[in-house]
Amino acid sequence: MRIVLLEPEIPQNTGSIARLAAATETALDLIGPLGFSLEDRYLKRAGLDYWPWVKLVVHESWDSYCAGSHSGRLIGFSARASTPYTRCEFRGDDRLLFGKETKGLSPQVIEGLGADVYAIPICSPHVRSLNLSNAVSIVVYEARRQLGLF
């Protein structure tokens, strides 16, 4: 399984997700352009001293990521999707795609994923979306639960 972040903007979120990736031994792909430098002190601080254990791959752009060789399904997560993530039957080689904090996944990316786009239900009509690092945590742990990785 891989966590895939498309154009993340906030270093603290990416640092927290990197810590999650290290803790769960889940690979992390960052697709640029990034909204920060990989040398950002906030990114490093949020990831603490776990960076050596993060299986990190950085891709220049969405086009370069798509042109690369990948195994497994690419599954998107978006507040605009209608199917809850709990209906996804996760596989060990899935690539879990999350969009940037301010806009999520673009309509073009969502369209390209077809039926493989899921949402984390939000109860309150006053909340548009969850924090990116929280959303990634929810999905990664549900996938691990389904796959018996505890």
Per-residue pLDDT tens over the stretch 101-122: 999 999 999 999 999 999 999 9
Using alpha carbons, list the distances in angstroms from residue 48 to 16, 41, 43, 56. Answer: 9, 10, 9, 15
Q: What are the chain's domains?
A: 2-147 (3.40.1280.10)
How many residues in total does the chain contain?
150
Per-residue pLDDT tens over the stretch 60-105: 999 999 999 999 999 999 999 999 999 999 999 999 999 999 999 9
Which residues pair with residue 4 across a beta bridge?
29, 97
Burial of 9 (0-12, 13-18, 19+ CB in 10 A): middle
For residues 4 and 74, the answer to whether their CB atoms sit within 8 Å is yes
Q: Is the pLDDT of residue 22 over 80?
A: yes
